[in-house]
Structure 1
Amino acid sequence: MKSKLTILLMLVFGLAGLGFTGCSGSEESTEETQAVGFEEFQTVDTDTTVVAPDTELPEDVSDESEAPEEEQETPAVQADEQAKPAAEPISSENLMWSVQIGAFRNEEGAFSTVNQARASLNKPVYKNFDEATGLFKVTVGSFATREQAQEFRSFCVKNGYPDAFIVQVKR
């Protein structure tokens, strides 16, 4: 009897401890806006094919134990030619507000949400794979102001997307 009581108490304290560790499973945010890193989203409403970007093959690495060949003089290159342009700065002209309605580990879940959103929300729907998190994110609409996105977010919440939140994206 004592062992059953001990096990029961351990279970109760263990479950009570989950509430204090953040492992409860509910991840509510008081902020409605979450940063997205300004990645470009793939438009799902068009029939475009996504192609992986070109990647460079690794160069052959020679064994350092080999004797070095005769060094040839290389002409000096001007600093202007060496400087490569930095990545394009994010222009505020390309930034838009959108409403994220879901994030999925598998693409099938994302496509299911895309199809449901198309039928019920009457706005362009976008699906994007976020390499940093490994999630397929589904967003709806492109709004010039945060206020417009906030109004549409309220519409989404009333129409079956209670966890919808506002994100800023590059379109």
Structure 2
Amino acid sequence: MTDSLTHFNDQSRAKMVDVTNKTVTSRMAAATGKITMQPATLARIHAGKVKKGDVLAVAQVAGIMAAKQTSSLIPMCHLIPLTGVDLHFSDDRQTTITVTATVKTKHVTGVEIEALLAVQTSLLTIYDMCKAMDRGMKMTDIHLIEKAGGKSGHFVYDQSTMNQGGASN
């Protein structure tokens, strides 16, 4: 990690980092998160019996749309041309759905925030579509699981290291 604060100008005010001279490389980021709900809620999602429609189909589209809008929502993020956004859903057949988003680009800056926003928006969409039957749903464990490309290199989330407050490269 660097000690210099790159998002501040010479007046100590926020700025968007200048990436003009950075090299274009292939970049990828993957993020994940979970939403826990009552067993009956997950059963209704599987049975297609949620009044607002196909929960996972809508959550998938919402996540893709969110990744594409990241620079409009997060002030210091650059507008990045995305070359791919994919979301996968899995569940434990009891109470928890896990969302994993993978985002790709060939650009001068990474797509970690795009992947994280895709996951969070998908989880929020699931909540929104099911809240009438289960307001106690809980979103947890949202984090970057992998990033590749760029100057900082390859990162893979390591649960054992993260429990100790560190990071792995």
- Same fold at TM > 0.5: no
Larger proportion of strand: 2
If the length of structure 2 is used for normalisation, what is the TM-score?
A: 0.26
If the length of structure 1 is used for normalisation, what is the TM-score?
A: 0.26
